[in-house]
Amino acid sequence: MEQRRLKPLITGAKGQLGTSFQKLFKSLEINFIPTDINELDITNCDAVLKFIEDKDINIIINCAAYNNVDGAEEDKENCYALNSLAPYYLAKAAKSIDAIFVTYSTDFVFDGKKQEPYKEDDTPNPLSVYGASKLDGEHRVLTTYDKVFIIRTSWLFGKGNNFNSQVINWAKKNTVLRIVDDQIGGPTFSDDLALFSWLLIKTNAFGLYHFSNEGIASKFEQAQYVLQKIGWQGTLQRAKTGEFAIKAKRPAFSKLDSSKLARAVGKEIPTWQDGIDRWFGEWWSSGVV
């Protein structure tokens, strides 16, 4: 597929990943169609099928998701509508026009009992409604269409509300912060996820992949790195997940092994620290986060 003929549709275009895709496509001078809830309700199958008519779309990239992990425990219907049914409808739509379909899943499909990075063929066992909804979406997509990329990712940060920006905002209001050190995984810069997804799309090596930035971190270590970047003079203390009132269970260890994707695109994945450095320059310092 020649670059000049590529015409992606982005759903969830105003979110962290969608924003990164828009920036990437503009830099590559690729014509794309950005949509969010106001332009397209992806939980309505008929609306999706009607929207794609006569637009010459040949790639559908689904960046939309229900990401409120705790809220999902009491909002199961809406969570499943966005994380399971919507990807299924989009996969059906992609199949109807012979377009490539890309959608995203999560490290939360795993239970966190493994002590080394999770590979694509490891057995999922989600602990939360959010994780279960994402896994159900995976199954629906993979059994609907073959020209599909499903990319599991973790701890995303980009433009908008994310753990990095939360830590900075907490630091502005407090001299002491308590951050958990028993949730361990892989922070992921949305710009890197968009770029590596795009490189993967062009391989036509369809299937299930993992992507997070290189390296392993606890939430405490990620917060520590962010706070050092802003020169915070407060006290950062270690805490445990059980000390906080949260509704959804989190996997204790959820680092994803991204080696399959790295091999597929032939490119080394940057570290999470490097990703945070560039996040500061791209999003935080410009005041758009």
Q: Annotated active-site positions, please?
A: 130
Dihedrals φ, ψ of 61, to 5°? -115, 110
Asked whether 17 and 23 are in contact (CB, 8 A), the reply is no
The C-alpha atoms of residue 260 and residue 267 are separated, in whole angstroms, by: 11
CA dist 26 → 19, 23, 29, 31 (Å): 11, 5, 5, 8
Asked whether 32 and 10 are in contact (CB, 8 A), the reply is yes
The C-alpha atoms of residue 96 and residue 83 are separated, in whole angstroms, by: 21
The beta-strand segments (E) located in the chain are: 8-11, 33-35, 59-62, 100-106, 148-153, 156-157, 176-180, 184-185, 188-189, 207-210, 217-218, 235-239
Would you state the structure tokens that stand for residue 133, as one six-digit string? 């909804």
